[in-house]
A and B are shown apart, each in its own frame.
Chain A
Amino acid sequence: MANLDPAVRKETGYIACWTGALSLVMEAVFLILGKWDLSVLLGNLSGAAVAVGNFFLMARTVSLAVEGGKPDEAARRVKASASIRLLAVGALCALLVGVLKTNVYATLIPLLFPRIGILFRPAIDRKRDAESSETEGSDLID
């Protein structure tokens, strides 16, 4: 864990923040609709954990594959990782929904939260760049 790529740590943190925020929104929606119960909370927590864990493993695999430097080996490693992770996510979701009887929608919807976070990434980056360039500009004027 100590030799984790800073990019992996940063992106996983960003995705975890978005997943947490959107999970809260989803809980609020279930509360407003009057369909909230413990299975929703459990499903949401476990679905969010699966989504963030899947993203972290993907980022770690990609980072390790890139560090290896051999394109063919990297491609093979990432292909194998993608297949195994998809099967693992499917098995975990089936276990949660089928055995632990969590709410199906509350378990499955958090899997899509990382994608929503990535959707807003360019806008946030653009805003941050604009703010930093403004700060640099004011420093130059001073």
Chain B
Amino acid sequence: MELAMGIMLGLLGLGAGCAMIAGIGPGIGEGNAVAAACEAIGRQPECKSSVTSTLIMGCAIAETTGLYGLIVAILLIFVAPGMFTGILKDAVTSMKG
């Protein structure tokens, strides 16, 4: 039972770490978008306010992907252990019974 619990908790931690890989993409994407926006504003300075406004919204959308990964990781760390421990205990009890 303890071994199964240890393996389960380890795998949940591994899953949470894997979910956080999603946090890499938004940073790269936002960086590229801002670099392109800088070039666009350099070409047409009169469009600065509309470009900045659109860029902020675009960056917020890109950032959501990372937040999805973060939410999954937090759920795996704080919610899933309790849930899976219950399932494991039920399985062991039914096997003994």
- Which residues of A line the B interface, CB within 8 A? 5-8, 10-11, 15, 54-55, 58-59, 62-63, 65-66, 68-72, 74-80, 82-83, 85-86, 89-90, 93-94, 97-98, 104, 108, 111-112, 114-115, 118, 121
Of B6-14, B45-53, B85-93, the segment with at least 4 beta carbons within 8 Å of chain A is: B45-53
Chain A interface secondary structure, helix, strand, loop or mixed?
helix
Closest CB in chain B relative to A21 CB, distance in Å:
17
A98 touches B78 (CB 8 A): yes
Chain B interface secondary structure, helix, strand, loop or mixed?
helix
- Which residues of B line the A interface, CB within 8 A? 20, 23, 26-28, 30-32, 34-39, 41-42, 48-49, 51-53, 55-57, 59-61, 63-64, 66-67, 70-71, 73-75, 77-79
B38 touches A86 (CB 8 A): no
With A7-B49, A104-B78 as known contacts, state yes or no: A62 contacts B34, CB within 8 Å.
yes
B30 touches A82 (CB 8 A): yes
**Contacts of A62 on B, CB cut-off 8 Å?**
30, 34, 52, 55-56, 59
B74 touches A93 (CB 8 A): yes
Q: How many angstroms from the CA of A8 to the CA of B37 in the assembled complex?
A: 16
Closest CB in chain B relative to A68 CB, distance in Å:
8
**Contacts of B26 on A, CB cut-off 8 Å?**
82, 86
Closest CB in chain B relative to A71 CB, distance in Å:
4
